[in-house]
Chain A
Amino acid sequence: QSALTQPPSASGSPGQSVTISCTGTSSDIGNYNSVSWYQQHPGKAPKLIIYEVTKRPSGVPDRFSGSKSGNTASLTVSGLQGDDEAYYHCSSYAGSQNVVFGGGTKLTVL
């Protein structure tokens, strides 16, 4: 099972929006609506911010939104704030009770 493909970096200024892509295949993202996104600050454990492509856990601001088209999922962060500077990881169910992650994207708030 190959890792999902994410851009290594993304950036935006405070108040702007930024979108991070996550590309898989028809065996994972393209076949299941079980795409999740995690935010990870340096030295910390990941935090779930999006599940089932578009849903937000309680407490996650609606500035974070997710979408999917074909084999590619996307995370959009609107109204960028300083604390949004972190690594963002996508994951997808990949069939046969397996999970696959992306390589992670470092988001820099300029």
Chain B
Amino acid sequence: QVQLVQSGAEVKKPGASVRVSCQASGYTFSGSFIHWVRQAPGQGLEWMGWIIPYSGATNYAQKFKGSVSMTRDTSISTAYMELTSLRSDDTATYYCARESVYDGTNFDFWGQGTLVTVSS
């Protein structure tokens, strides 16, 4: 069965960086886009961007250009999201999600989420 397993919670100071991992299993990792979505406490979902595991190509939401980097290691079926220059309003749960096999842009499997807390 398809699974996306993310790394554990992180606590960071303002100005630091954080890297979250997302290990895929149960399907061909290279065959589907991986998207990253975050959710601040009590708030809605916010799309951050995607990576194509096959090629490493990326596309970031305008808001995150310059502060986010998405990479992957196909040898271990893992995608990474690194966010730099952290601020308190980056405190959120970060999810990776697989772009589905269905028509359109939607996400059929999600990781369990990684809580990133930014606090001095």
Contacts and interface: CB of A to CB of B under 8 A. Distances in A.
A93, A99, A104: residue with the most chain B Cβ atoms closer than 10 Å = A99
Contact of A91 (B45, B61, B103): B45
B92 to A, nearest CB: 13
Interface string A23-64: 000000000011110100000011110011001010000000
Given A91-B47, A104-B45, A48 B100 contact: yes
Chain A interface bracket (under 10, 10 to 19, 20 to 34, 35 or more): 20 to 34
A6 to B, nearest CB: 8
Nearest to A92: B105
Contacts of A47: 110
19 contacts: A1-B61, A3-B46, A34-B106, A36-B106, A36-B107, A38-B107, A45-B110, A46-B95, A46-B107, A47-B110, A52-B102, A52-B104, A52-B106, A57-B100, A91-B47, A97-B50, A99-B35, A99-B105, A103-B44
Interface of A: 1, 3, 6, 33-36, 38, 45-48, 51-52, 55, 57, 89, 91, 93, 97-104
B111 interface: yes
Contacts, number: 75
B113 interface: yes
A47 B61 CA distance: 22
